[in-house]
């Protein structure tokens, strides 16, 4: 996994059909020394083309755009730029759009009301392999408004260690692997090992499923 710094910056593509929104994001990210914007797209098709051309680390993808929506563009971006992290950055906070974003494998879902600090932290976290969500979106997941397959329920024969339960608790609260390692006084590699073991035990197949599982099973607090 790449280490991002002033010398190895996070390369970001902004995809939004409103110039004022793109200008706002540019202003926010201008204070982050380890990030720079490699391009801007005004519609879904252009987002795909620029991702294929530039292979950005992250694409901030609005949902409602001309030609192709962010939801429609996301799987095609994944095809042409498989290492790009896809974050939906939208004004929508409804269940249907969230479900669609999760179904196309978005690495995050942020609402446009997030603070500049939150946005920068989210971008730094997603390149570490963490799923990122606005607090309002985490609340939707925690409230159980979205349902998931039955295999997200715990089999009584599965043994989860105390340390794995602690990791689940922090995941449910939106902590990154780095933050979990600091709170538990263990290495990031150990945190990732716990996450891998949990996914294996629980028959989960993505980091997003693990986060959703943690949120929906608050008994691990």
Ordered by where they begin, the domains of the chain are: 10-142 (3.40.50.2300), 150-220 (1.10.10.10)
Q: Which two tokens stand for residue 46?
A: 């252009």
Length of the chain as a residue count: 221
Q: Where are the alpha helices (DSSP H) in 30-184?
A: 44-54, 70-80, 95-103, 116-126, 135-142, 162-172, 177-184
pLDDT above 90: residue 203: no
Which has more pLDDT, 205 or 50?
50
- Kindly state the average pLDDT of the residues 158-179: 82
CA dist 51 and 216 (Å) reads 34
pTM of the model: 0.64
Q: Are 68 and 44 in contact (CB under 8 A)?
A: yes
Q: Going by C-beta distance under 8 Å and a sequence separation of 6 or more, which residues neighbour residue 108? A: 85, 86, 87, 88, 122, 126, 131, 132, 133
pLDDT computed for residue 148 by the predictor: 40
Cα 171 to Cα 17, 79, 129, 158, 207: the distances in Å are 33, 28, 13, 19, 10
- Kindly state the average pLDDT of the residues 46-61: 95
In terms of Cα–Cα distance, which of 117, 125, 116 is closest to 179?
A: 125
Q: Which two tokens stand for residue 44?
A: 């879904």
Could you count the other beta carbons within 10 Å of the beta carbon of residue 184?
16
pLDDT computed for residue 99 by the predictor: 81
Beta bridge partners of 40: 14
pLDDT level of residue 158 (50, 70, 90 thresholds) = low
In terms of Cα–Cα distance, which of 150, 123, 152 is closest to 211?
A: 152
pLDDT computed for residue 212 by the predictor: 73
CA dist 147 and 152 (Å) reads 10
Which has more pLDDT, 210 or 117?
117
Computed over every residue of the chain, the mean pLDDT equals 82
Which 3 state secondary structure label does DSSP give 116? helix
């Amino acid at each position: 996994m790449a280490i991002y710094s002033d010398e190895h910056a996070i390369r970001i593509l902004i995809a939004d059909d409103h110039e004022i929104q793109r200008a706002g994001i540019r202003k926010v990210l201008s204070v982050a020394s380890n990030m720079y914007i490699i391009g801007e797209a005004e519609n879904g098709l252009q987002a795909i083309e620029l991702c294929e051309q530039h292979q950005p680390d992250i694409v901030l993808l609005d949902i409602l755009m001309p030609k192709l929506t962010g939801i429609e563009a996301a799987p095609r971006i994944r095809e042409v730029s498989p290492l790009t992290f896809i974050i939906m950055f939208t004004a929508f906070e409804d269940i249907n759009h969230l479900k669609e974003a999760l179904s196309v494998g978005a690495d995050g879902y942020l609402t446009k009301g997030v603070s500049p600090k939150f946005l920068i932290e989210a971008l730094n976290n997603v390149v570490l392999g963490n799923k990122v969500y606005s607090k309002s979106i985490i609340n939707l997941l925690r409230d159980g408004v979205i349902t998931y397959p039955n295999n997200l329920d715990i089999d009584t024969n599965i043994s989860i260690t105390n340390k794995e339960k602690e990791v689940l608790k922090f995941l449910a609260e939106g902590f990154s692997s780095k933050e979990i390692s600091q709170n538990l006084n263990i290495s990031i590699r150990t945190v990732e090992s716990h996450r891998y073991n949990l996914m294996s035990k629980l028959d989960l197949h993505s980091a997003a499923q693990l986060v959703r599982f943690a949120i929906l099973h608050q008994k691990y607090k």
